[in-house]
Structure 1
Amino acid sequence: MKYWFLEDLSRLSKEKEEIENLYSKADWLQEIEWILESELTLIARIKAHGHIYEVKLSYHAYFPSTPPTVTPLDKEINWSEHQYFSGTLCLEWGPDNWHPSITGAQMLESAYKLIYSENPYGNNKQKEIIPSRHFLTQGQELRNKYFRFYAGQELLEYLTKLQRNEVFNIYYTFLIENRTVVFHVLEIRTTEDVLWTNIEFPAHLKPEEPDVGIVINTNLAKEKIKTIKTLSEIEKLYKWQFFEELTSAKFVILLDNTGNPHALFGFLENKELSVVSLIFDKRDKKRLPSPLETLKNKKVGIVALGSLGSKVSISLGRMGVEHFYIVDDDLFMSGNIERHILDWKSIGSHKVDAIKSQLLSLSSRMKVQVSRTNISGQEATSALDSVLLSLGKCDLILDATANPKVFNYLSAVSTTNNIPMVWGEIFAGGIGGLIARSRPELDPDPLTMRALLNGYTQRLPEFKYNSKSEPYLAELDENQVMIASDADVSVIASHISRFATDSLVEGADSIFPYSMYLIGMSNSWIFEAPFDTHPINTSALMEKENFISPTEEEERVKEFLQSLLEKKK
């Protein structure tokens, strides 16, 4: 580790000189002592209103690029509202406005101004309220608060409309994640009716029997509410009759006379309630481009939820798709973690079930059907037919298998039902990848496009595998190795997701001039560098298809089918 005071002796000399000058002139600076701990430190005694305050000025490793800190010598002492949880005083200079020209002496002067004005050890007549030079974000304020109440915009608006001084029941739950307990209101009720329902909260996260609490829109000032510690104190102010008893976890929301909510929580009857920090969510939720709003009415069928398919499925869910039919028979194993969107919590689960859980957690409106069928494996014919029929009811089919046999089945479904089909794969060693799509009446059918790709690649230089790379294919058996990084897979998955949404949005011109691309991620094979892209023109094939006239045999077959339909009538 480098020490600034050994490498910048001139700055060390300046710091020492400035502080000694301050010590000689300022009668409030009583004593100073330089010490060397893990970093250069100054212990100082500041006198204000007859009281002594011992502080520690610490020069950190990256000084003077970063500011020193001033804290009480006793880490347990809290002097001011302008003091962080770590004990550091919030002074005139901090990380947001620091400049290397500022010295430790100036930081001591700033500490004295704060202590003298607020007078922590003095009487109230000598104390002043010092305005903050900046405001903390919610994240900064809550980083040491482990009990939190999430209040969305719709809930906040409804709470303020509740009749004054009336008691209402709330159904609620809490989620424990990442060392935090977050409370969510699910419903607001009277004895007869449900007044408000949280339609945003994912259904599969709701417990079968939610906890029961109370909410009161009071006429109390926030200072009065802050003095309330138990349920008994609330009962003395407001008489209520529950249509359902409060559960053992006591959760109370009190709105003050300005409409701001305050949350309290406790486990035991008439024991002190703890304050629950509020998370206000008043931001505009519209973050998707307007054309993507139509995706909520589309259903996407995805076959194979490996590293590629899993990323695409979650991406499409975040982009607005709310209906999925996902197919995969595979289990999630520890060896999948390097590239898959799932993690250790899903080890041993079927991939479709774990991905379904993630999709359902994105939106309360999400609907996900799953199948654990192996389309190219040994299955009952009825099972295969059922999967293909279900895929035929989707608005788009996505093949993430890189399996020719599966591709043939999905191509038949796409062509028969006039459904767009999107597919992609990653090439050996993650050198690049393929994305392609076939849209009815706009592109050749998938089999024709695959034949075009095969003919195109046969004219290209042969790619020779070395000992460090293997073809990246679908996991057809346990011995195949998939060589590509998570970043490689993510690149192709993102392109496929954009291809899919572009194919689903109605009434908009496509942003893609081609329907098949080879995308490079390294200097290898035909790719000269990352981002080197080779589009493959399929429009000529489409023109040929449009001029094909029905043969005599096709006409005879049509007549045969028509006779069967007439007979059925």
Structure 2
Amino acid sequence: MSWYLTDVARFRAERQGIEILAQEVDWFAVTAWRLDARLRLVLDAEIGAGGRVYPIYLQYPDMFPHTPPSVFPRGDTARWSEHQFGAGGELCLEYGPDTWTANNTGRDLIESCHKLLVTENPGGDELGDAPSRHVVSLGQGLRIRYSRYLLTRTFRALLSELPLRASLEANLVSLYHKESVVHVVDKVTLADGTQWTDPTVPSQLGPEYTERRVPICRWDETDTPPTTESLDEFDSGFAAVGNTLEARYGFIVHGSELSVFFLDRKKRSVVDVAVISPPPEATRLDAAHSVLAAKKVAIIGCGSLGSKAATMLARSGVGGFVLVDDDILLPDNLVRNDLDWRDAGVHKVPALARRLQFVNPSIDVLQWRVPLGGQEANESADAMLKRISECDLMLDGTADPNVLNLLSAVAASAKKPVIWAEVFGGGFGGLIARYRPGIEPPPSFMRRAIENWFGERGSLPRRSHRPYEAIGTGIDVPMTADDADVSVIAAHAARFAIDLLVDRGPSLFPNSVYAIGLGADSVFSQPFDTYPIDVGPPPPEPEVVELSDQEKVTEIATLLELLKDKIGGTDPTAQDN
């Protein structure tokens, strides 16, 4: 129901306040009150300013008095003010959604409108300048600009190094969206024939979107920029400095400023493309995160949890990944996976690699489209495990005990940490766990301690892992965890990982395992119940077998015989190596 029916007293106060204003001043006159087609209350009136009469209408919104009325020109499509949303559009006054309170009235809007018009049109030939109550945001300024160019910091740094009046060639990548097209340059062929590549633009952007070669030239600040009034005049201005332009897009660097133009040769017109300049550079991560660029993480399992944790680590600055998974992304996976329809039908590993490099173009990704511990060639499996062992951290997102056992053996041998995480079936909670060789017990011991901890409380968690052999057999495994459930556990796992990789000293996490509640079920009484689980110290190291000197001589002689056979029967002791 309209506000003027539910608050008749406010309706009377609004009407009386405006009609009293018309009696008090000579610059304002009420024409009529009316209801528009949407039954909104509207006042038609006239305001005098600078020797001119401005017909206006004041339109009350449905949510008045919680949102302010609007003032529009009435029957006039000309632009009245610099503080106006386009010709014939709403006037931008002192009172807007950011400054309005319910104590303000329509009369305040009328007085503000008069102040604006008098300030900007005081009479005579001179025009005034009314101060703005706000700064138009980047988003507001680009709402009506379909064609946009994204200027990166690295490309902006290159512009001042380009030779004057030399026509070079740039590779323009265009990303078409429903509401806009965004362009970016990823490569420039320099005057000496070498190619400059922007390291901050993903390398796969060009091949996946639209690429075209466009001319770019740098003019001196004293050169007159070409007019965009017509295509012929633009071409003439371009040719005035010895350049010709036949492409659909042209780049001009005028002094230190970049201008981008779209040339519609069919309509014989020139469109000035909006250039989005980079904001001042600001540090968005603390200094401790800088070490992550040199770190490499193995992600075992690129499903819902693994894909989310990997993306979070990439955003945090991790510079290298080894991705291991043999699965295909299907549309049914999209309820939880960090990927989307653009990668449906693709192996999860290359799809996630693409995702990570779109997040951080400088990331190095090694891809293995195989299952860890699956039926693969021994040599291939060995090579994969070697690459995993070279990582600074291994993250298991498979929730498969067999995978974790193999991974923990690799970790123990390489003295590298492992993090694993699970989301319990039903989405009521999950757990995160950390294994540091020599500090925590191996995962097989830890899993036993975890099961005992839940068992002592009379509630073992339901596992959401569905083994391959269960598919199609009718075995029902709860899989109702939603994206938010998985994201919470993945975020905790990523935080665990960052703590290990940054290595500020003592860990922020005094315990190695945490059970995290997302609902009232199992051991959890409510969402966000968190329980640290004590898994005990690592078992004692196995006794080291020491050989006698004679036993060592015997074993070394055996190795030398093997080396002798390897190098063609020569005596290996005679070789420098």
Matches within 5 A, 1:491-506: 491-506=488-503
User: Is 494-503 or 474-483 further displaced after alignment?
Assistant: 474-483
Secondary structure of the 2:204 match is: helix
SS of equivalent to 2:422: strand
Residue matched to 1:335: 332
**Residue 70 of structure 1: how far off its partner (Å):** 1.0
Instruction: Work out the CA distance in 1 between the residues paired with 2:491 and 2:549.
Output: 44
Match for 1:105 among 67, 89, 107?
A: 107
In the alignment, structure 1 residue 455 sits paired with structure 2 residue 457: no
Do structure 1's residue 151 and structure 2's residue 154 form an aligned pair? no
Structure-1 separation of matches of 2:225 and 2:49: 30
TM-score (norm 2): 0.86
Matched, 1:410 2:404: no
Select 2:93's aligned residue among 67, 75, 91.
91
- Give 1:173's aligned amino acid: V
Tell me what 1:128 maps to.
128
SS of corresponding position for 1:281:
coil
Query: Is 1:234 aligned to residue 237 of structure 2?
Result: yes
Within-5 A mapping of 1:332-481: 332-463=329-460, 471-474=463-466, 476=468, 477-478=470-471, 480-481=477-478
- Amino acid aligned to 2:433: A
Distance 1:20 1:220, change over 3 A: farther
**Distance in 1 between residues matched to 2:214 and 2:110, nearest whole Å:** 52
- Mapped to 2, the partners of 1:184 and 1:112 lie a distance apart of 45
Maintained 8 Å contact 1:373/1:383: no
1:541 to 527, 537, 542: 537
Q: Could you tell me whether the CA contact under 8 Å between 2:432 and 2:489 is conserved in 1?
A: yes
The secondary structure found in structure 2 opposite 1:449 is helix
Q: 330-339 vs 154-163, which deviates more?
A: 154-163
Cα shift at 1:127: 2.8
Q: Which amino acid aligns with 1:81?
A: E
The Cα shift of 1:452 comes to 2.5
1:81: which partner in 2? 82
Inter-partner Cα distance in structure 2 for 1:495 and 1:560? 52
Higher alpha-carbon deviation: 413-422 or 179-188 = 179-188
- Mapped contact 2:83–2:132 kept (Cα < 8 A): yes
The corresponding residue for 1:65 is 66
Tell me, in whole angstroms, the C-alpha distance in 1 between the residues paired with 2:357 and 2:276: 23
Please provide the CA RMSD for this pair.
3.3
Cα deviation, 1:320-347, whole Å, max 9, x if unaligned, reads 1121111222222222222221222222
SS at match of 2:141: helix
For residues 296-353 of structure 1, what are the alpha-carbon distances to aligned partners after superposition, in whole Å with 9 as ceiling and x for unaligned? Answer: 1122111111111110111111111121111222222222222221222222222222
8 Å CA contact 1:187, 1:194 repeated in 2: no
State the 1:270 CA deviation.
9.6
Structure 2 residue 27 is the aligned partner of structure 1 residue 28: yes
- Equivalence map 1:194-273=2 (5 Å): 194=194, 197-207=197-207, 210-219=212-221, 230-240=233-243, 248-255=247-254, 259-268=256-265, 271-273=268-270
Deviations 1:12-33 (A, max 9, x none): 1111001111223333334422
Show the counterpart of 1:274. Answer: 271
Say whether residues 1:5 and 2:4 are aligned partners. Answer: yes
Q: Give the secondary-structure state (helix, strand or coil) at the position aligned to 2:99.
A: coil
What secondary structure is seen at the aligned counterpart in 2 of 1:545? coil
For residues 34 and 526 of structure 1, the distance between their equivalents in structure 2, rounded to whole angstroms, comes to: 65
Using the TM superposition, name which of 492-501 and 146-155 deviates more. Answer: 146-155
Gaps of 5+ in 2: 564-577
What is the CA distance between 1:433 and its match in structure 2?
A: 0.8
Secondary structure in 2 matching 1:239: coil
CA 1:25–1:533 in 2, change beyond 3 Å: closer, same or farther? same
CA contact (8 A) 2:51 2:123 kept: no
Normalising by structure 1, report the TM-score. 0.87
**AA in 1 matched with 2:537:** L
Q: Match of 2:426, SS?
A: helix
Correspondence for 2:286: 289
**Structure 1 residues 397 and 195 mapped into 2: Cα distance closer, same or farther (>3 Å)?**
closer
1:525 equivalent to 2:490? Answer: no
Are the equivalent residues in 2 in contact too, given 1:231–1:269 (CA < 8 A)? no
Which residue does the alignment assign to 2:573?
A: none
Letter in 2 for 1:411: S
TM-superposition CA deviations, 1:167-193 (whole Å, max 9, x none): 554443222235222222334554325
Instruction: Decide whether aligned partners of structure 1 residues 328 and 124 sit closer, same or farther in structure 2, where only a CA change above 3 A counts.
Output: farther
Q: State how far apart, in whole Å, the 2-side matches of 1:326 and 1:21 are.
A: 74
Letter of the 1:113 counterpart? K
Answer yes or no: is the 8 Å Cα contact 1:248–1:268 preserved in 2.
no
Assess if the C-alpha contact under 8 Å between 2:173 and 2:205 holds in 1.
Answer: no
Between the two proteins, the alignment pairs up a number of residues equal to: 552
What amino acid sits opposite 1:131 in the alignment?
A: P
Cα displacement (A) at 1:247? 6.6
Unaligned ranges ≥5, structure 1? 465-469
Q: Percent identity?
A: 34
**Structure 1 counterpart of 2:303, one-letter code:** G
Q: Alpha-carbon deviation of 1:201?
A: 0.9
Distance change in 2, residues 1:475/1:35 (3 Å):
farther
Query: Given the alignment of the two structures, is residue 175 of structure 1 paired with residue 175 of structure 2, yes or no?
Result: yes
Which shifted more, 291-300 or 41-50?
A: 41-50
Shift of the alpha carbon at 1:164?
5.8
The amino acid across from 2:261 in the alignment is L
The residue type equivalent to 1:234 in the other structure is G
Give the corresponding residue for 1:45.
Answer: 46
**CA-to-aligned-CA distance 1:491-527 (integer Å, 9 cap, x gap):** 1100100111222224633211111111112222212
Say which SS state the counterpart of residue 148 (structure 1) adopts: strand
